[in-house]
Amino acid sequence: MAFYCASALNTGFTPSTTLNLQAPLAVDEGAALARLGGRFQPAFHPTACAPMGLEMQMTQLQLELISVLANLMLAGPGSLQITPDGAVRSRESARGLTGQTPPAPFSQSGGRTSFNIASFNVLGASHTAGGGNKPGMRDGVDRMRGAVDSMQKHNVDIAGMQEFQGPQQAAFKKLAPGYAMAAEKDNAIVWNKDKFKLVERRSVTIPYFEGHARQMPVVQLEDRQTGKRVWVVNIHNPADTKDHPHNAANRAKAISIEQHLMRELQSSGVPVMFVGDFNERNTVDNDMAQAGMNSARPNGARSEIDWILGSRGVNFSNYSADHSTQTSGVSDHPIIVSTATI
């Protein structure tokens, strides 16, 4: 970067001049910098460039120029204008226009937000189709009517859906158009579009049957009214079944991955919620507590393999495990629901 000493009469600036970003800035009597806000007042006569204190003056000048150039780069080429009072404004602000304000950090956003969150294994359509292991139950598409009714009964705002296969997803979209969906194969997160909007979508890979990789959906949602944000992760860890026995080691690996993900997401400062069918009744509380998560299930509540968990700062109330979904033949799992407040 070059610095020049020049006469104030040769600066070429007037109070209404638009900055020429291609020309070097003159510094005579602080001409360039004084007109850029009026803050720079040299203590020496720049036309003489006196050596006394020159290093100090040049350092001050460099700092001023760095500040000016940073503002120029942020504003864009040719977008700053000197006003008659000597201040510098963007052309947009001069016309009454401003840029979009970045979202505030989570801790500074809006008021508290409450919502009903659910975990629901809806029993995959393949289980009740021809050759499935649940031949006495209705087909998956028909059962989705009861699943949607159960969600509406509990005023569910966010849900993690497991064994939510293609035909069931298509039926759900028709039956519940008020929900948006982020799906990874047979697992999805759905949310009330009027209350939440999608900020970010990811997935996490865990070992499933025989260790085969399976993606689980991860989303960050924002409350449209308060601006509060929350991460939601939907999990389905592998069970031990007749056709797929001995998956305890894969569940342990999956839990380790989920603990790591929990810590990673929590470091963003946004609350985190895990929902899902963990296929474990007694160890999930302790395993996820090690990663800073608490269960929505109150002490003394019936132990389920379906869970709702939240990071510290998430408060739970109104926990319910509604087993009517089982007795009515909608699924072989209850719908688990809790009110979360962040």
Q: What is the dihedral sign for C-alpha 285, 196, 260, 163?
A: positive
The answer to which of 100-104, 249-253, 314-318, 319-323 has the lowest mean pLDDT is 100-104
Confidence of residue 4 (pLDDT cuts 50, 70, 90): very low
The pLDDT of residue 196: 98
The residues, ordered by sequence, that sit 6+ positions from 57 with a Cβ below 8 Å of its Cβ are 42, 43, 44
The answer to which of 43-52, 145-154, 195-204 has the lowest mean pLDDT is 43-52
**Whether the Cβ atoms of residue 271 and residue 233 lie closer than 8 Å to each other:** no
The answer to which of 30-39, 165-174, 315-324 has the lowest mean pLDDT is 30-39
> What DSSP line would sit under 90-142, residue for residue?
EHHHHTT--PPPPPPPGGGSSS--EEEEEEEE---HHHHSTT-S-TTSPPHHH
pLDDT per residue as tens digits for the range 205-226? 999 998 899 999 999 999 999 9
pLDDT per residue as tens digits for the range 223-256? 999 999 999 999 999 998 777 888 999 999 999 9
pLDDT over 70 at 13, yes or no: no
Give the pair of three-digit tokens for residue 89: 């404004």
C-alpha to C-alpha distance for 165 and 149, rounded to whole angstroms = 18
Range(s) within the chain of domains with CATH label 3.60.10.10: 106-341
The pLDDT of residue 66: 61
pLDDT over 70 at 199, yes or no: yes
Mean pLDDT across the chain, nearest whole number?
78
The pLDDT of residue 44: 42
pLDDT per residue as tens digits for the range 121-177? 999 998 988 777 788 899 999 999 999 999 999 999 999 999 999 999 999 999 999
Confidence of residue 265 (pLDDT cuts 50, 70, 90): very high
Confidence of residue 55 (pLDDT cuts 50, 70, 90): low
pLDDT over 70 at 3, yes or no: no
The pLDDT of residue 93: 36
pLDDT over 70 at 77, yes or no: no
- CATH code for the part of the protein at 106-341: 3.60.10.10
First to last CA, the chain: 51
Long-range contacts formed by 188-191: CB under 8 A, 24+ apart: 188/160, 188/161, 188/164, 188/217, 188/234, 189/158, 189/159, 189/160, 189/161, 189/217, 189/219, 189/232, 189/234, 190/158, 190/159, 190/161, 191/157, 191/158, 191/159, 191/219, 191/221, 191/232
State mean pLDDT over 62-80: 52
State mean pLDDT over 315-324: 97
The pLDDT of residue 90: 40
pLDDT over 60 at 46, yes or no: no
Question: What's the full length of the chain, in residues?
Answer: 342
The pLDDT of residue 330: 97
Report which residue type is found at 151.
M
Check residue 57 and report its DSSP letter: H
